Chains A and B, each alone.
Chain A
């Protein structure tokens, strides 16, 4: 668990804090997304965890221990670090790049090369093909994958990721996000993930910390709760006017109570679709209801626009109370 306790940062030569009395907890095995407009102190907050930046006030605890209990370099070897600019070492092969921290920790050679192979497979790069290449010989998306593999190398319990998929095109970004969520499903790291993209935050976050200008924590909650009940003008305008639809995108068709099957001539909806896409299908087809089917084409029931509406409206009412 990572705990921010009254953490503030004022850079030298400036009178205004860029992070202001930040207090929240990141739970084990969860992705906590720091999101907010440019310059609101996300990167600064994240870099105080591994002490690339020292706070002006407050403290950060990792598993109950202040992160100042050991030297900065030792601390950083036990926290994964991945950044938007990737920062692969251009003069080292992909294998050597990934092996950076294990080498610092003096693992033996056999263990290191086995780990490199495992990680390359994990991030979807064929070890035989990529191990001995240099970073310049990889595409941007492949470099991002190597950056993530490098951050995971020594199996750190905690990972810091600053816009790790920021430098790739939207299609690749979605693919990398999906892949990373799949990987996280296996490795269950405690992750602080920085982005300025609210859609990425909603997709990646188990919990989202929304920061506003001056590094003030505006809201900290699950994506569902933030979308259902933004606690301020700032948050509701930051998450956008389409927050009801965004919230629907968090729910799958299979999560909803369906009506009885009534197959004739209704458009088919996969049960793995999210509700936003399902709604879009129904509106597009100009019908009130669709037939929900499993991967194997077994009919599960029917989903109506009315059901979706009720779900959204229920959340709105809950907010009013």
Chain B
């Protein structure tokens, strides 16, 4: 049922490239999504009025079934098959959770902390970079965690439109009726997700040294 021979024969020319491709897809997607979400989240925290439309649009994107979104994007002129299209889809899936966590993170800053900062003469920019974002960071990283785990899962479907990654192993495994491929792809994708989750959890903890409470 499980062909160890195939695994050892194909580790360098098929399994490893698929794994690296998968990491690349996920990492680039989360990075781009974060670059979009940070300014939007900050904007929302300043102008509450834009929150409902932002939630509506990103919520809509999030709720489109992934296979349908891939198919839809492929038909967009200029995109077609390939990893760019997959990345666009993955980015659009992560926006909702990332923006939400950026906003929640900034909202979690106590009002009196902001007031004290202003009262001592910090400029708005200094308040953002020295007070709000550092305090929001653990919540933002928690959002990155959820987005990353979600994306690592959905990225496997990207192989359907030639995006590469571990999905490649799974899809060819299915079409050639060769379960070893499917299992290797699925196990690696799962491990990758768990590993990313634990790493980001550690980062989240590390970013909150002030939360340890050693009482006087």
Min Cβ gap A193→B in Å is: 15
Instruction: Determine whether the beta carbon of A81 is less than 8 Å from that of B116.
Output: yes
Interface size class of B (residues with CB under 8 A): 20 to 34
Interface residues of B in 100-149 (CB under 8 A from A): 110, 112-123, 126, 131, 134-135
B212 CB to nearest chain A CB (Å): 8
Are A89 and B213 neighbours in the complex by a CB distance under 8 Å? no
Chain A residues with CB under 8 A of B214: 133, 137
Q: Assess whether B112 is in contact with A89, with CB atoms less than 8 Å apart.
A: no
Residue in A83, A100, A142 whose CB lies within 8 Å of B216: A142
Q: How large is the interface on A (under 10, 10 to 19, 20 to 34, 35 or more residues)?
A: 20 to 34
The reply to whether A104 and B116 form a contact with Cβ atoms under 8 Å apart is no
Q: Are B121 and A101 in contact (CB under 8 A)?
A: yes
With contact pairs A86-B112, A88-B113, A89-B113 given, residues A136 and B211 touching in the complex (Cβ less than 8 Å): yes
Dominant secondary structure at the B interface? helix
Chain A proximity of B25: nearest CB distance (Å) = 34
A104 B121 Cβ-Cβ under 8 A = yes
With a CB–CB cut-off of 8 A, which chain B residues contact A73? 121-123
A183 contacts the other chain (Cβ, under 8 Å)? no
Q: Is the CB of B116 within 8 A of A75?
A: no
> What residues of B have a CB within 8 angstroms of the CB of A10 in the complex?
none
Whether A87 contacts B110 in the complex (CB less than 8 A), given A81-B116, A101-B120, comes out as: yes
Cα separation A134 to B135 with both chains bound (whole Å): 13
Beta-carbon contacts under 8 Å, A126-163 to B: 130, 133-139, 142, 147, 150-151, 160
Q: Name the distance in Å between A258's Cβ and chain B's nearest Cβ.
A: 45
Identity of the chain B residue whose Cβ is nearest the Cβ of A153 in the assembled complex: B120
* A91-B135, A137-B214 known; A104-B122 Cβ under 8 A: yes
Nearest chain-B residue to A142 (Cβ)?
B216
Within 8 A of B (CB), among A45-65: 50, 52
B208 CB contacts on chain A under 8 angstroms: 91
State whether the Cβ of B52 lies closer than 8 Å to any Cβ in chain A. no
> Would you give the shortest CB distance from A46 to chain B, in whole angstroms?
10
Q: Are A137 and B112 in contact (CB under 8 A)?
A: no
Q: With an 8 A cutoff between CB atoms, is A76 at the interface?
A: yes
Closest Cβ of chain A: how far from B113's Cβ, in Å? 5
Contact with B along A4-34 (1 / 0, CB 8 A): 0000000000000000000000000000000
Other CB < 8 Å A-B pairs besides A85-B110, A139-B215, A147-B116, 6 of them? A50-B119, A52-B115, A73-B123, A74-B121, A89-B131, A100-B120
- State the A residues within 8 Å of B (CB): 50, 52, 73-78, 81, 83, 85-92, 100-101, 104, 130, 133-139, 142, 147, 150-151, 160
Q: Which residues of B contact A (CB under 8 A)?
A: 110, 112-123, 126, 131, 134-135, 208-216
**Which 9 pairs between the two chains have the least Cβ-Cβ distance?**
A87-B116, A85-B112, A77-B121, A76-B121, A81-B119, A87-B112, A134-B210, A73-B121, A87-B113
